[in-house]
A and B are shown apart, each in its own frame.
Chain A
Amino acid sequence: MKAIVERFNPLFKPKTVAVVGASTKGAALPNVFIRRIRELGFTGAIYPIHPSAPEIDGLKAYRSLADTPEPIDYTFIAIAGAQIPPLLAAAKGRVRFAQVISSGFGEVDEGRDLQQQLVDAARAGGMRLLGPNCLGIYSPRGHLTFTEIGPRPAGSVGVVSQSGGLGTDIVRRGLNRGIKFSGLVTVGNCADIGPSDMLEYYFADPDTKVIGMYIETARDARRIFEILRAEKARKPVVLLKGGRTKLGLAAAVSHTGSLAGDDRAWIALSRQTGCILAESLDEFIDTLLIFQTLTPRPDKPTERVVLFGNGGGASVLATDTYARLGLEVAPFAADTIAALAELNLPPGTSITNPVDCPVGTLQQDDGRVAEKIVDIIYGIGKPEALVMHLNMAPFVGRSKPEVLDNVVLAAMRVQSKFPGLAHFLLVLRSDGDEQIEARKREFRAKAVELGIPVFDEIGNAGYALKALRSHERFVQSRRG
């Protein structure tokens, strides 16, 4: 297990990086790559490889991968496909990982031979190959990135994506939602390294706690099954599978150029290994987020859920959605209702479950009433999960800004006041108004810092909660 971590360390934490395809004019993708990793704080050696230029972006250039002063941990390659095999073959065992961004290989009929030449050349050159037809790696631990982002701390979510574009979406959207990555690798055509290799690595990597995979065509599906089967959901794995329908499949074949597995096999995989099958990119990100922030409790899988917030219709609709997901939003027992009744909340407040408090109610005591309600739900109601949802728009113009602050503050304090008692999820609902969006971003950043997952809608939180429960149940059922 340690061996595989050490084997992949040069990829995730390279000391030396070579870049092939940067131009003296500084406009090509590899030039952008150099700028981005410097911005992200990469301080190791960067070796541009160029047939003639003495210098690129102020860095001394070398003629070949075999000519650099130090061996190369990671090479980023974006040049015409046909030029790559001779480049790799000449590396003389001095390159650990080469990532080929260029396309025109196995994903198109006329590129199949070239892909085989690429694989042979990588083997001859003594390196492992990522891609071709991908975008790169995002590894905050190693200060590598293929997408434009500012410096971000490393985290515990490790992802492998067959699609480069979707990999970009996962990184950017994920970061905005508060996901912190231990890495995201795009593997494209998987000519050498495939999703199963990255799955094996992330299971072994001590920094990774949650694993995400976007897969279109998996020639290594059997190995994925065997790894997942052996690991018994030791770390939660969230799988987004493209090409599960017949139409989606046609798109997948033209996209990466090989036969795809069947939907029923992927459903079977999920049922018998406990990995979570996400249905959409949003669900994938929501699910990674909930596993990053909340600790699964296999001893007491999530069954009873309390909904608390403002918006009567929204809670009714959410209760329906949760019922369809098999999450129980059942009325409180008498003791909880009695305790809530003692708060003497204004008419129009519903104190069963869902707890529906119009803004008028939440304004009481400048919003501090929210904390009292939460205390009772936790202390007496004792659900497995509390979903607190705030429709932000009705607060605006009706109450002082600190009311919403205090309500949100009540949410923020839950984790520290009641550690490990119930899963806490926050839903911040916005109507898209600029001012509200800005406050939502601010609240979300604070909440995620405190380990509270924040969702855009109550339903989204429900799907994530269902995934968490499914993981908890699986782990419980597979315990020796």
Chain B
Amino acid sequence: MSTNNLISAAKKEGRAALDELAGKQLLASFGVSVPKSVIAKDEATVANAIAGMQPPFAVKVMSPEILHKSDSGGVKIGLKNADELAQAITTMAAAPQIKNARIDGWLIEEMAPAGQEVVVGAVRDPNFGPLVMVGLGGIFVEILADVAFRICPITRLDAAEMLDELKGVALLNGARGRAPASREAIIDVLLKIGGENGLLMQHADDFTEADINPLIVSANGAVAVDARFVLA
């Protein structure tokens, strides 16, 4: 499905946001790495669905009625095989906030290699148009608001300066015993999202907000593990 079709299909269905799979397809079409994934309808189809995929797996509920998947008990990670996946789905399907919701299926993904959690976001400013944001994941974004914004389109130098603006930038170099994270990989993602021909410039009027949270960044690359695009 083309990116425009992804968006118009979601709008036609009256969705407030792209579902996670559509969001990741959109990212992938702009060259952002996303985990290899498959959708299973139910427990019984898991084994066939994951043929050829590498554990460990994460499984997430797909439902337009559930906005915060982890808070609702709709995410399980670190699963090693089809049995564990099936059991996880059974447990999640019984969770109070899930059992009465409309379920589109279960998104099974290969888990990204460990790395630094980064957030790449976007917001549409009524006067300036799309802005792109970057921050380090977890408390850095949520508690310390250690983020940098730029107006789209950004250049490679702008993207590098965004990272240098973060107070926690030293963590990317592997401070405090953490593995170093690739600056270039983050800069590449920022350009694919906010650059001259990036996602936000081509879809300036389609979204009011977007989040890639987390983008898992290792020494060799960056993978968008979760993505949310709020439709305009």
Interface residues of A (CB under 8 A from B): 218-222, 225, 259-262, 264-265, 267-269, 271-272, 477-478
B145: nearest residue on chain A (CB-CB)? A264
Residue of B nearest to A221 (CB): B127
Q: Is the CB of B126 within 8 A of A268?
A: no
> Count of A-B contacts with CB under 8 A?
47
Residue among A219, A225, A264 with the most chain B CB within 10 A?
A: A264
Given A477-B157, A478-B157, A269–B127 Cβ distance below 8 Å?
Answer: no
Assembly CA distance A221 to B130 (angstroms): 12
Name the prevailing secondary structure of the A interface residues.
Answer: helix
> Given A271-B165, A477-B157, A261–B126 Cβ distance below 8 Å?
yes
> Is there an interface contact between A268 and B157, defined as CB atoms closer than 8 Å?
no
Contact A221 B128 (CB under 8 A): yes
A271-B161, A271-B165 known; A218-B127 Cβ under 8 A: yes
Q: List CB contacts (< 8 Å) of B107-129 with chain A.
A: 125-129
Most chain B beta-carbon neighbours within 10 Å: one of A218, A259, A262: A262
Q: Give the distance to chain B from A106, nearest Cβ to Cβ, in Å.
A: 16
Contact assessment for A268 and B149 in the assembled complex, using a CB-CB cutoff below 8 Å? yes
Interface bits B139-170 vs A (CB < 8 Å: 1, else 0): 00000000011110011011001000100000
Check if B131 is an interface residue, CB within 8 A of chain A. yes
Partner of B131, one of A218, A268, A477, A478: A268
Complex contact B157–A265 (CB within 8 A): no
Contact of A272 among B126, B127, B158 (CB under 8 A): B158
What is the interface size of chain B, counting residues whose CB is below 8 A from a CB of the partner? Answer: 16
Known contacts A264-B149, A265-B125; 19 further A-B pairs (Cβ under 8 A): A218-B127, A220-B127, A221-B125, A222-B129, A225-B128, A259-B126, A259-B127, A261-B126, A261-B128, A265-B131, A265-B149, A267-B149, A268-B150, A268-B151, A269-B128, A272-B151, A272-B155, A272-B158, A272-B161
Shortest C-beta distance, A385 to chain B (Å), equals 24
Cα distance A477–B158 in the bound complex, in angstroms: 11
Question: Once the chains are docked, how many angstroms separate the CA of A225 from the CA of B151?
Answer: 8
The answer on a CB contact under 8 Å between A272 and B150 is yes
- Contacts of B157 on A, CB cut-off 8 Å? 477-478
Question: Judging by beta carbons under 8 Å apart, are B165 and A265 in contact?
Answer: no
Task: Name the A residues within 8 Å of B131 (CB-CB).
Answer: 264-265, 268
Q: In the complex the two chains form, what is the Cα distance from A478 to B158 in whole Å? A: 10
The CA of A221 and the CA of B129, in the complex, are separated in Å by 9
Chain B residues near A268: list those with CB within 8 A. 131, 148-151
Contact call B127/A219, Cβ cutoff below 8 A: yes
Quick one: which of A222, A271, A478 contacts B128, CB cutoff 8 A?
A: A222
Complex Cα–Cα for A116 and B131 (A): 30
- In the complex, residue of chain B having the shortest beta-carbon distance to the beta carbon of A266: B128
Query: Closest A-chain residue to B157, C-beta based?
Result: A477
Contact with A along B94-117 (1 / 0, CB 8 A): 000000000000000000000000
Known contacts A264-B149, A265-B149, A267-B149: does B128 contact A272 (CB below 8 Å)?
no
**Nearest 8 A/B pairs, CB to CB:** A221-B127, A268-B149, A261-B127, A264-B149, A268-B150, A265-B128, A221-B128, A265-B125
